[in-house]
Amino acid sequence: MYSKRQSKMENSDTEQDVVIKFMKGPLFTLIIDKAVERQTVQLLKKVTKLEEDIKLLREFNVDVIKLLCIEKEIAINLREIDLSFYDRFIKKCHDVHFKTKSKPSLDVIEEPKAKPKIVSVIEIKRFVMDCLLKIGVQNEKAKTFTNALVTADTRGITSHGLNRLEHYINHIKDNVCNPNADPTIMFESESTAVVCGNNGLGVVVSMFCVNLAIKKAEKTGIAMVVANGSNHFGINSYYTAYAADHGFIGLAFTNTSPIMVPTGAKQACFGTNPLSIAASAVNSDGVVIDFATTTVALGKIEVFKRKNQKIPIGWAFDEDGNLTDDAAVGVKVKRLTPVGGTESHKGTCLAIMVEILSGLLANSAYGPHIPVWGVKPFKLANIGHGFIVIDPRKFTPGFDKRLGDLLGYVRKLEPIDPKKPVEVPGDFERRAMKKIDDQGGIEYPESILNMIEKLVKDLGVKAPKFKS
């Protein structure tokens, strides 16, 4: 990891020519050449003051993991650095400690990327279960949560699978969420219910709600169950596809932390407020519509940030209200555009619709009153969800045939690009599932592998056994 090094300096503090080298990796490593004289090490120690004081790096909003001091090498492993970090660090070095005529120069090199690795679905579930049990989650609840989380990855929705595991674990460890709380019914009629999640796991609360809605819809043909006092529930389609697998049409809505800037506004007010509808058709076919009402889910920008990739212009704003292509800025500032972009009002309309069908009906927190997820100090979320379950058999016969016919028709439309057949919502996920079956497991990129390694160390759980 520390093999490529290069740094120069003259002997005195005043006439140095310092190259500060960072290695961009899963952990960002500041490298000083082994051959460099003691002074550089001392200077950088002074700059970072890590041994007595990590304030300077805190100023950069950097999570300092560790300082390694091996012989004359010094390596500061940092993570979650936003892209302007290097420049600001160098300027600070210059302003504070280097009495040079010119600023130290900067060299950022890419660490060779580790290859993605494949792990079987059973094994990754075992790993997630072990993590949850280790932090005190009861077995049944851990199982329910694990199934939902890993299902996101098996369906190719990588923004909401293992990518999010650390967030959930941190919330549980910080006692922000009570993972062992049972949801309770506050009010119910034949076809409706209001559930209190008692600050439990969003997935546990939501499975309770959707099962209750199915039970009611079996009798009444349609039922709606809403929940308050809940937490982040992962992917909406976990619940709607579950209802569809039981022969119903399922709809799911949730409000989320306010990070969407409504059309024409400067501040964020709504969450990514995702919605989903799923229904089964004949011949094991079906449709699963599931998306955020922002242009993209925040998790997708997190994936770009982890990969150090730029995001397309149009997804997120920077601090000054300008559109940005910097994924790190997108994640940090948390101001996303509504679906349809800045020139359309339709995303804003959909976000309000989702609020009506989740937070407002359930009397949970709503809109700007929801705390931002994953930002310390963590606060109680009091998220609201809504689930509608419809029994198509209680309407007109043959719904599944007509749906199958419609989906088939759409798929057979002549594509613009012959190599890209027209798909219906749910086909992408089906392709992802087939790929995982064919390759014998889920492929995780370096960023997730590092997170897994960190959890193995932090929690003392057994590392997953990888296939490759």
> Which residues contribute to the site for ligand NAD (CB under 6 A)?
157, 159-160, 232-237, 254, 256, 272, 274, 276, 288-292, 296-297, 299-300, 423-426, 428-429
Closer to ligand NAD by Cβ: residue 427 or 446: 427
Cα→Cα distances 83→62, 80, 283, 323, 339, Å: 11, 9, 49, 16, 26
Using an 8 Å Cβ cutoff, are 318 and 301 in contact? no
Beta strand 19-24 with 105-110 is parallel
Closer to ligand NAD by Cβ: residue 155 or 216: 155
* Least separation in angstroms between CB 430 and ligand NAD: 9
What is the C-alpha separation between 89 and 95, in angstroms, rounded?
10
Centroid of chain to Cα 250: 24
Closest CA to 16 of 79, 85, 77, 104: 104
* Least separation in angstroms between CB 161 and ligand NAD: 10
Q: Which residues contact 211 (CB under 8 A, 6 or more apart)?
A: none
| CB atoms inside a 10 Å sphere around CB 418 | 7
* Least separation in angstroms between CB 334 and ligand NAD: 12
Instruction: Please name the residue that has the structure tokens 């006092």.
Output: 229
**Mind giving me the DSSP string for 313-344?**
TTSEE-TTS-EE--HHHHHHH--BPBTT-TT-
* Least separation in angstroms between CB 5 and ligand NAD: 40
Closer to ligand NAD by Cβ: residue 64 or 380: 380
Closer to ligand NAD by Cβ: residue 97 or 171: 171
Closer to ligand NAD by Cβ: residue 38 or 420: 420
Closer to ligand NAD by Cβ: residue 106 or 356: 356
Closer to ligand NAD by Cβ: residue 70 or 413: 413
* Least separation in angstroms between CB 224 and ligand NAD: 19
* Least separation in angstroms between CB 201 and ligand NAD: 12
End-to-end CA distance of the chain: 21
Q: Which residues contact 366 (CB under 8 A, 6 or more apart)?
A: 255, 355, 359, 360, 384
* Least separation in angstroms between CB 300 and ligand NAD: 5
Closer to ligand NAD by Cβ: residue 405 or 423: 423
Give the helix, strand, coil percentages of the chain, each rounded to 5: 40, 20, 40
Closer to ligand NAD by Cβ: residue 77 or 158: 158
Closer to ligand NAD by Cβ: residue 148 or 196: 148
Region of residue 22 (left: phi > 0; alpha: psi -120 to 50; beta: else):
beta
* Least separation in angstroms between CB 156 and ligand NAD: 9
* Least separation in angstroms between CB 364 and ligand NAD: 13
* Least separation in angstroms between CB 152 and ligand NAD: 7
What is the C-alpha separation between 64 and 83, in angstroms, rounded?
16
Instruction: Please name the residue that has the structure tokens 């798929």.
Output: 411
Here the tokens at position 443 are 């492929």
SS3 220: helix
**Mind giving me the DSSP string for 158-215?**
GGGTGGGHHHHHHHHHTTSS-TTPPPEEEEE-SSEEEEE-TT--HHHHHHHHHHHHHH
What is the C-alpha separation between 182 and 204, in angstroms, rounded?
8
